[in-house]
Structure 1
Amino acid sequence: MDAPRERWTGQDAGPVVRPYALTGGRTRPRGAPFDLVAILVATGKAPGERVRLTREQRRLLELCRRPSTPADLASEADLPLRVVQILLDDLRRLGLIERREPEHDRARPDSRILMRVLDELRRL
């Protein structure tokens, strides 16, 4: 008789692995947590020979090949935001990701456009 297959997810309960197991028992990042909308990007550096990344860290690093926010990463990886913040903190400490500052000229919309939108909203 075949042995039953292990189930890593419950049909009703979702993932069986608890979030603290993914973070090594930590409930907070060692450094300041990333803001929800901080723009993160992979640095392109390879992890050292002695560094063992978890499957979740490798997934986040892969997602950071294009600029992403912690909120987007949590959604894409289907992990709680706090878990993602802790894993991202580890990746930052290893020099594998960095925070990219937005370009101020592009980040701030033209005030004339905003005034026009406000005027149109008032007319409604």
Structure 2
Amino acid sequence: MTAPKDGPWLDDDAGRLVRPYTVSNGRTRPTTALDLLSMVKATGRVPEAHLDPDHARALDLCHDPTSVAEVAAHLRLPAVVTKVLLSDLVDCGAVTTRAPGPAADPTDRSVLETVLNGLQRLL
């Protein structure tokens, strides 16, 4: 097995060889309250400290408003680890967050019809 020279260590069968707790320095709680649907966006401010590769990748994903869940999926990391990384970026001013908008009422007929129409278009 060989590791790529410019990316994270990966194994085709095992996936990432660096464990998530290593990425977050053993932290399991972010300093900023983030929901999976919270939107994050880069501020353009360059952090004073050197960014770890995972922090830099997360910051690159935030040029446009992006949900925490989407960043986690692109990084291929658990959501809690991604929240820790993003909260580090918030703490240094490189990223801003916005809480998700209010959820639609799941019993509202117009919402259900819109979802049904969207699903029918996909099929």
Q: TM-score range by the shorter chain?
A: 0.7 to 0.9
> What TM-score, normalized to structure 2?
0.73
CA distance in 2, matches of 1:116, 1:71: 23
Matched positions, count: 109
CA distance in 2, matches of 1:55, 1:116: 42
Alignment of 1:46 onto 2:42: no
- 2:26 maps to which residue? 25
Aligned CA RMSD, in angstroms, stands at 3.2
| Percent identity over paired residues | 36
Deviation at 1:10, TM superposition (A): 2.7
CA distance in 2, matches of 1:59, 1:116: 37
User: Which of 93, 108, 114 pairs up with 2:110?
Assistant: 114
Superposed CA deviations along residues 13-65 of structure 1, whole A, max 9, x for unmatched, are: 11111101101111221343x111011101111111xx011111111111100
**Divergent runs of 4+, >6 A:** none
- 1:56 maps to which residue? 54
**92 and 12 in structure 1: CA distance in 2 versus 1, 3 angstrom threshold:** same
**69 and 115 in structure 1: CA distance in 2 versus 1, 3 angstrom threshold:** closer
> What TM-score, normalized to structure 1?
0.72
> Tell me, which stretches of 5 or more residues in structure 2 are unaligned?
118-123
> Tell me, which stretches of 5 or more residues in structure 1 are unaligned?
none
